[in-house]
Amino acid sequence: MPGTPIGNAGAYKYGMNPGVGVNKEDLLDQITNTDPFDVPWTAQAPKVGCQHVYHQWLKEGLDLSTIDTSGAVEGADYAYESLTPPEREFNVTQILRQDIGVSETQRAINSAGFKDAYAHEIQKATKRLAIKLEKVVFAALTSASGASGDARVMRGFQHYITTNTARAGDSTADSGDGMLTALNFNDMLDQIYGSGGNPEQVYVSRKVKRQISAFTITQQNRNIAAVDKRLVSAIDFYDSDFGLIQVVLDRWIPESTNAAGVTATAAATATGGQMFFLQRNMNRLAWLRPMKHDLVGKRGDSVAGIIVGEVTLEVLSEKANGRIKNVNNRSAVT
């Protein structure tokens, strides 16, 4: 209870409570960050540059539907083939920014855990913006051009991945969630392969990851060192008919909001569960301005600065990716 003496003050009566007497306080000289800041996709995504806030790229196909098995007639006259020109795709850059301000008094204080409060805030801001970028690329956002003073908002994977999409389990409409099955997983890989893609990774939330781990199939393997019986990789690999698929646990993937106790049926009302099958070389981050710290300088008796960068998502071929939506967050076994 507040005010209750700690231990026995002893014969000298100096006292042991914080802020009492002449004894120095015992404070560990380090800070433990209690919030997660891992960003699996952003950390490994290919990075390229761009030169405009309106970033464009070209895409085209091989007109596979017109390829037949016939031969050419010997000596036949020339005939013009109909050509399909490349199409333009685009995204807009989004500014990621966090302002920092620390008083000179705080910078002069002998603080625990860091030498300079301003430098410490730079580290925190950088991690926060990395998390924001990870959330943006997977979120259901409405792209905005930034007209009339509004902030530009890039398009994410949910906007681009339209060819290879499916709903989990028995869900047939966006009004409810279904339970993820091994058949859903394999059907999506089959669909992507048929569209010309070869995804190596699938990004899932923690509850969807548990559903995948519960698949009753023999192809699911974990990489465990046989000598010391130590788990050497926390990421599972799904050995499918279409190659080895890395199942990446990502805490920023949109997850269904069903409350505890809601069963995994198509009648469930939450619709937020998503999982993303991605081909790495087809999805990149295009940076107009790489993330960096800019020192604004002295502001009265304080120092100010910003962490700022400008980037957009580049999806070179959305057909190489896939998305299963309406994934219920509940396991079949509670």
Looking up tokens 């400008």, which residue turns up? 310
Task: Check residue 230 and give its pLDDT.
Answer: 44
Question: What per-residue confidence (pLDDT) applies to 157?
Answer: 96
Question: In the prediction, which pLDDT does 219 show?
Answer: 47
Lowest-confidence region among 169-183, 229-243, 270-284: 229-243
Tell whether the model's pLDDT for residue 67 goes beyond 60: yes
pLDDT value at residue 231: 39
Q: Is 50 exceeded by the pLDDT of residue 176?
A: yes
pLDDT of amino acid 35 = 62
Cβ neighbours around 289 below 10 Å, total: 14
Closest CA to 62 of 323, 317, 322: 317
Q: What pLDDT score does 60 carry? A: 84
Residue 178 DSSP symbol? B
Could you please report the per-residue DSSP string of 256-288?
--PPTT--SSTTB-----EEEEE-GGGEEEEEE
**pLDDT band, residue 2 (cuts 50/70/90):** low
CA distances to 65, 220, 293, 305, 307 from 78, rounded to whole Å, are 22, 54, 62, 67, 61
Global pTM value: 0.80
Checking if the pLDDT of 24 tops 90, the result is no
Q: How many residues does the chain have?
A: 334
Q: Is 186 helix (H, G, I), strand (E, B) or coil?
A: helix
Q: What pLDDT was estimated at residue 332? A: 52
Q: Which residue has the tokens 């009566």?
A: 13
pLDDT at 233 (0 to 100): 37
Strand 302-315: give its sheet, edge to edge.
47-49, 283-298, 302-315, 94-103
Quote the mean pLDDT of the chain.
Answer: 81
Task: Please indicate whether residue 195 or residue 67 has the higher confidence score (pLDDT).
Answer: 195
Lowest mean pLDDT among 111-125, 153-167, 207-221: 207-221
pLDDT at 162 over 70: yes
Q: Give the tokens for residue 71.
A: 């031969």
The CA–CA distances, whole Å, from 152 to 30, 92, 96, 100, 138 equal: 38, 7, 10, 22, 16
- Strand-pairing partners, residue 295, are 305
224, β-bridge pairs: 231
Q: State the average pLDDT over residues 284-301.
A: 91
